[in-house]
Amino acid sequence: MTTETSLEVVRVGKAFGGDALVSTDPHGLGTLLYDRISDDNIPLKKYLRWSESLHGVEIGRSGVAHVELLEDILADHEIVHISFSGNCGSMRELESTLNDEFQGNVTILATIYPTLDFTLLDILPPDASKGHGVSRLAELSGLTAENVMCIGDNFNDLKMLEYAGTAVVMGNADAKLRQMPNFYTTLSNDESGVAAAIERFIFN
């Protein structure tokens, strides 16, 4: 994303009370930078603790880094990814506002956890999505969409599922995903749903 777009995305997101995470190293560890975490954003705190442990075995490396002010970082780095998280209501409003303001200049993907009242919004360059990645991989492999099966469990998987010839939704996914036409529902992640889908659609 351009510096101008990145700065504006961060400005709008913070105005909605969203806690921002930014990734600036496209060829590195995918380290996440942040400058604040709201006291009540418990899911994000847990996520950051998990991320910090990703590279814990490598001395001096971490999946997360705190900075004084994200806006000071954006001007000097290539921005790969920006995310915001917060309660479902405020993030739904933020998603609508970002869509109105940027209109195709960014990709916005929502991962929603209603039982936790927590939503994660990913803001990416306009051609970045799981669907784009899968279609490109299929093209490089000489495959068409009809030969591709994708499995997902949240709304950030939607483009990928819409692309696939065989789209499978986990049993624990949001009801709106499970009810979409042409999507198959497998067992939940606690019931080996991925294995069940592979058994049904690949081995049979």
* Whether 51 contacts 32, CB under 8 Å: yes
One-letter identity of residue 123: I
The reported pLDDT for the residue numbered 167 is: 97
Question: What's the pLDDT tens digit per position in 173-192?
Answer: 989 999 999 999 999 999 99
pTM (2 decimals)? 0.78
Structure confidence by residue, pLDDT tens digits, 2-16: 889 999 999 999 888
Strand partners, 20: 84
* Alpha carbons 127 and 7: distance in angstroms, whole number: 19
To which residue do tokens 């479902």 refer? 88
Beta strands in 67-148 (DSSP E): 81-86, 107-113, 118-124
pLDDT of residue 27: 67
Interval 74-80 mean pLDDT: 84
Report the percent of the chain where pLDDT is more than 90: 54
Predicted local distance difference test score (pLDDT) of residue 59: 47
The CA distances from residue 170 to 123, 158, 182, 193, in Å, are: 24, 12, 14, 6
Intervals of CATH 3.40.50.1000 along the chain: 130-201
Numbered ranges of CATH 3.30.1240.10 in the chain: 3-124
| The pair of three-digit structure tokens given for residue 27, joined into one six-digit string | 């060829």
Among residues 78, 102, 146, the alpha carbon closest in space to that of 13 is found at: 102
In this prediction, residue 165 has a pLDDT band, given cuts at 50, 70 and 90, of very high
pLDDT of residue 116: 83
Q: State how beta strands 107-113 and 118-124 pair.
A: antiparallel
On average, the pLDDT of the chain sits at 88
Q: Is the pLDDT of residue 124 over 70?
A: yes
90-112 pLDDT, tens digit per residue, is 899 999 999 999 988 899 999 99
pLDDT at residue 169 in the model: 97
Are the C-beta atoms of residues 105 and 114 closer than 8 Å to each other?
no
For domain 130-201, the CATH class is: alpha beta
Fold category of 3-124 in CATH:
3.30.1240
Report d(CA 180, CA 184) in Å as an integer.
9
